[in-house]
Amino acid sequence: MRFTVALSHVLPQHTLSALVRAATRWRWRPWKNWLIQHFVRSYAVDLSEAENPDPTQYAHFDAFFTRALRPGARPLDADPRSLLCPADGRISQAGAIRDGRIVQAKGRDYSLAELLGDGAAAQRYAQGSFVNVYLSPRDYHRVHMPCAGRLVETLHIPGRLFSVAPTAVAGVDRLFARNERLVCHFDGVHGPFVVVMVGALLVSGISTVWAGTVVPPYARAPQRLRPSGPQLAAGAEMARFHMGSTVIIVLPAGAATLRVGLVAELAVRMGERLGTLSSQDN
């Protein structure tokens, strides 16, 4: 593991990711069909869940990777106060934010202010809670709203592109606060919340439903946008990862009670309940 972590520091991360982006969008049929079919076999992808289950019908590998699911494949928890899981994957960490710091892995934590790229914005979440969901290559790669909310602003923060696989998370200090990411601030009925889309090695892009492709280009300086924010329903699609990565939900104190048992490596699916939102009066 130490060798892998050390190697990740010296790899040309952005160059490799740009090459992957080109390779996964090449439309030459023999190439894209071989790549998709090899991927399906290697990761045991369940194509029966896909809106289009025929792997040869996708224009290129990225279209397959960001594929839609058939209606009903991910039913939303029926409780209107549910905090919904935003993506398929595994829990990396979840729990309380203590004095503005988030647990990354055993023995490692990082600053919420650094993750959000804004110390003032971080103050309202300093004693709140978070859920970090890791999307592996085999997972469904569209990200959905954990609860209803109106987009207030986004902040695209430049950074590294370390792998976000469990071995890297355990070995790279402050990984999520160092990687390139898109920080999305929302206002909801139950209060403000943040959804952070974290880039990673070989992740060739992040797109949103309100702005299209956001990454690349890779940021050279923080880029803050205040769009005339769309209102998105709980469970609505908000973004896509073009290759796998991590999504982090950040909530203020008292906004929600996380369900018991959200431990590292727990498999989760989009739409299931991660916790219960507090009443509007609170």
Active site residues: 88, 144, 245
Q: How many Å apart are CA 172 and CA 179, to the nearest integer? A: 11
Q: Which is it for the CA torsion 14, 20, 24, 29, positive or negative?
A: positive
Amino acid 249 reads I
**205 neighbors 21 (Cβ within 8 angstroms):** yes
Cis upstream peptide for 216 (omega within 30°): yes
- Interior CA angle at 183 toward 103 and 71, to 5°? 95
In Å, how far from its chain's centre is CA 131?
A: 11
Question: Nearest-CA neighbor of 249 among 120, 84, 109?
Answer: 84
Rounded to 10 degrees, what is the CA torsion of 153, 155, 161, 167? -60
At residue 151, the 3 state secondary structure works out as strand
Cis upstream peptide for 217 (omega within 30°): yes
From the number of C-beta atoms within 10 Å of its C-beta (0-12, 13-18, 19+), residue 220 rates as exposed
Q: How many Å apart are CA 139 and CA 187, to the nearest integer? A: 28
Question: Nearest-CA neighbor of 231 among 161, 152, 124?
Answer: 152
